[in-house]
Amino acid sequence: MKLQLARQIVDHVVREAPGPVAVFVADDHGELVAAATMDGAAPDTRLNAHRKAYTAARSDARSTAELAAKVRDDPVERASFDPFFTFFLGGVAAFDGARRVGAVGVSGLPGEDDAALATAAIEAAGLST
């Protein structure tokens, strides 16, 4: 994930968010490329957005929602994951063609809204989910 693209994604989320959120854009290893926390966002949204992006970047799932559904009924499998992984909605992987280039985590709204913001920002930047 290139910085210019990551900043475009952050700007899109901040511009379109109906309330204060944190957004974290990660590379394909889950490491920070760009991030922002809107005025009024709860302090824990930063860490949650980071964990969502990290999970979507490093797991084999396309989103935290997909990963959560995959392991919903298997507590042993859930317990075996990287301890920084999260199953909260709002983490979405970004692809350039078939290649995962990173992920976006959004936190601060209901999970479905966080995920929708992340997806819209990824697609507005010309990537796919």
User: Which residues lie closer than 8 Å to 69 by C-beta, 6 or more apart?
Assistant: none
| φ and ψ of 117, to 5 deg | -65, -45
pLDDT, one tens digit for every residue, the chain (129 residues) = 899 999 999 999 999 999 999 999 999 999 999 999 999 999 999 999 999 999 999 999 999 999 989 888 877 777 777 888 999 999 999 999 999 999 999 999 999 999 999 999 999 999 999
Q: Model pTM greater than 0.85?
A: yes
Cβ atoms of residues 122 and 57 within 8 Å = no
For the chain, domains (ranges, CATH) are 3-124 (3.30.450.150)
**Dihedral of the CA atoms 74, 88, 121, 98 (nearest 10)?**
-20
